[in-house]
Amino acid sequence: MRPDHFAPNIQLSTESMSESGAEIIFIPIFEDDDSDLAKSFEKSVVSELSRARASGEFKCKNFESLVLSINQPNWKIKRVGFLGAGKRKSMSVDFWRRLASTAVITSRKACYKKVAFFVPSLQEVSGDKIVQALAEGAHLGNFDSGSYKTNEADLGWVESIELAVSGNLDALNAGVERGCVFGEYTNIARGLVNEPSNSLTPKTLASRAKEIGLDAGLAVDVLDEDQIRDLNMGLVMGVAQGSSEPPRVVVMKHNPPGIKDGPVLGFVGKGVTFDTGGISIKPASNMDKMKGDMAGAAAVIGAMGILSKLKAPVRAIGIVPAAENMPGASALNPGDVLQSASGKTVEVLNTDAEGRLLLGDGIWYAQQLGATHLVDIATLTGACVIALGNTTSGLFGTPDWWVGQIELASTRAGDRSWQLPVFDDYSEGLKSEIADFSNIGGREAGAITAALFIKKFVNELPWGHLDIAGPSWTEEEKPYQLKGATGTAVRTLAELALDVSSWKDLK
């Protein structure tokens, strides 16, 4: 196997670009505001840029690129890449993240290993936020899903990136360091999601999570099937009973020194390493994508790594219930009743609604371990994809102030989310004649009833649910995003934890 990502060396520079040893420099060009650096190039370059803009070849639209040769006096760099940056007033932190990723992917396709990026002065966004986003984007662009290919790598790696900035380097360097950690652990999560299910079983996922967690400095424990059974996690055991692969529950803990009280974050990620649907089997079309049904687990693993590496000032617990949902001889049947670790009973009307079962026991266990604020993350429903498409996660939860904090974190992270209601009326569909409730609520409002199923295991704590079924994977290649796993929600969870001072006293 070849590596699926490479961490570039990212350095800030306030020196003249004339001495840079980069092979290409990228310069953002706004539709409504030319770059002063672009104007300073030799006449032939300025003329070619003007011609391309006048002809419509380069309209400065978002993420367009125009690469030209330069022969600038006293410059070592021989290529310039102009990047379309749209209208200056519409710039956001997430746009900078995507622009950096565009620059790296463009460079990889042209085999440039040493890259420079000119960062214009922007009063609209603080400099440390911009360089953090640029560092994240650079890492995200340096990812490749073809780790099982045996031929030469389709795309090489960008090895170094020089960010040409103005300002206090000490303050900006902190942003770069944070961005590199965010980018690295997002890529680790993407690698897990891309992994085929024959090599990433529940046991292997647990082993990888332990390796990643210990390397980051976390305390990690893995519960085997006997320990899971001893905890009466009947929902986890029920999902796993049709597979020859036994389930696992991973527990990751971040306990920063000196913090003995205050909130304890509980992150719970769905870890279905392959989902056939069980007896309620899925159609064959696109079933191969079900290897990614553990993207919620990957998000928790990646986020917990960030918390430890950046010494987040809040205690946190990451729970990953992992299982395979198969239609084996001993598989769960529609109509079966399972007893959860909380004691509540569930009538399983559809075995393809298995992720919420894992989360039910996982949410219970997070509370047993002391979590005071909960967020669960899952590729949970096709209904959420129908509602919001592939660009936005569904956000559910109570109370509103806690959901608002999660939404703010997702905005900072560049992970779009949209709040959907959890009115009690929707719970009517989960009624069962023989158990406390069923695991599905009918065709209508399927994403909402799934969220309300999970809520039944929450003991009046602040709780949020992210349904990432749409944005966790992309089949559409974009200038800033190659096909495959996206790493959705890793940075959202990390941003939420690192911003603990904003919400720890809210009630």
Q: Could you read off the pLDDT of 17-29 as tens digits, one per residue?
A: 878 899 999 999 9
| DSSP at 247 | P
Which of 99, 97, 92, 100 has its CA nearest to residue 125?
92
Mean pLDDT of 206-217: 98
Question: Residue 36's pLDDT is what?
Answer: 65
Q: Tell me how far apart the alpha carbons of residues 271 and 254 are, in angstroms, rounded to a whole number.
A: 20
Q: Tell me how far apart the alpha carbons of residues 104 and 112 are, in angstroms, rounded to a whole number.
A: 9
Residue with the two structure tokens 């603990």: 500
Amino acid at 378: A
pLDDT tens string 193-203: 999 999 999 99
- Is 121's pLDDT higher than 90? no
Q: Tell me how far apart the alpha carbons of residues 121 and 111 are, in angstroms, rounded to a whole number.
A: 29
**Cβ atoms < 10 Å from Cβ of 99:** 26
Mean pLDDT of 456-479: 96
Cβ within 8 Å of residue 269, ≥6 positions away:
294, 296, 297, 298, 299, 300, 301, 318, 319, 320, 362, 376, 377, 378
Q: Which residues, in sequence order, are bridge partners of residue 398?
A: 463
Contact criterion met (CB below 8 Å) for 490 and 297: no
Straight-line distance from the first to the last Cα atom of the chain, in angstroms, rounded to the nearest whole number: 49
**Adjacency order of strands within the sheet including 345-348:** 336-339, 345-348, 437-438
pTM of the prediction? 0.96
Mean pLDDT of 466-476: 96
Question: Residue 123's pLDDT is what?
Answer: 56
**Cβ atoms < 10 Å from Cβ of 287:** 14
Question: Residue 345's pLDDT is what?
Answer: 98
Q: What would the two tokens of residue 25 be?
A: 């420099």
pLDDT tier at 71, thresholds 50, 70, 90:
confident
Q: Which residues, in sequence order, are bridge partners of residue 321?
A: 249
Which of 194, 191, 107 has its CA nearest to residue 157?
107
Catalytic residue among 315, 356, 416, 491: 356
Which of 234, 268, 243 has its CA nearest to residue 436?
234
Question: Residue 426's pLDDT is what?
Answer: 95
Round the CA-based radius of gyration of the chain to a whole number and report it: 24
Mean pLDDT of 180-191: 98
Contact criterion met (CB below 8 Å) for 172 and 121: no
3-state secondary structure of 344: coil
pLDDT tens string 319-371: 999 999 999 999 999 999 999 999 999 999 999 999 999 999 999 999 999 99
DSSP per position, 63-119: T-EEEEE---TT----EEEEEE---GGG--HHHHHHHHHHHHHHHHHTT--EEEEE-
Side-chain half-sphere exposure of 442, counting CA atoms within 13 A: 9
113 is catalytic: no
Burial 252-279 (b: 16+ CB within 10 A, else e): bbbeeeeeeeebbbbbbbbbbbbbbbbb
**Cβ atoms < 10 Å from Cβ of 416:** 18
Question: Residue 446's pLDDT is what?
Answer: 97
The per-residue pLDDT of the chain, averaged, comes to: 94
| CA dihedral sign of residues 476, 301, 271, 240 | positive
Q: What would the two tokens of residue 232 be?
A: 């009466």
pLDDT tens string 424-436: 999 999 999 999 9
Winning range, highest mean pLDDT, from 111-125, 166-180, 400-414: 400-414
**Cβ atoms < 10 Å from Cβ of 426:** 16
- Mean pLDDT is lowest, of 13-22, 329-338, 383-392, 453-462, for 13-22
Question: Residue 191's pLDDT is what?
Answer: 98
Q: What would the two tokens of residue 374 be?
A: 């909960």
Catalytic residue among 113, 282, 344, 456: 282
pLDDT tier at 398, thresholds 50, 70, 90:
very high
- Is 124's pLDDT higher than 60? no
Contact criterion met (CB below 8 Å) for 397 and 404: no
98 is catalytic: no
Q: How far is CA 218 from CA 175, 177, 365, in A?
A: 23, 19, 18
Question: Residue 152's pLDDT is what?
Answer: 67
Peptide linkage before 246 cis (omega within 30 of 0): no
Dump strand ranges (E) for 127-206. 160-164
Per the model's pLDDT, the better-predicted residue between 419 and 260 turns out to be: 419
Q: How far is CA 134 from CA 106, 179, 411, 415, 486, in A?
A: 15, 7, 16, 15, 17
Per the model's pLDDT, the better-predicted residue between 38 and 487 turns out to be: 487
Residue with the two structure tokens 């941003």: 495
Question: Residue 46's pLDDT is what?
Answer: 85
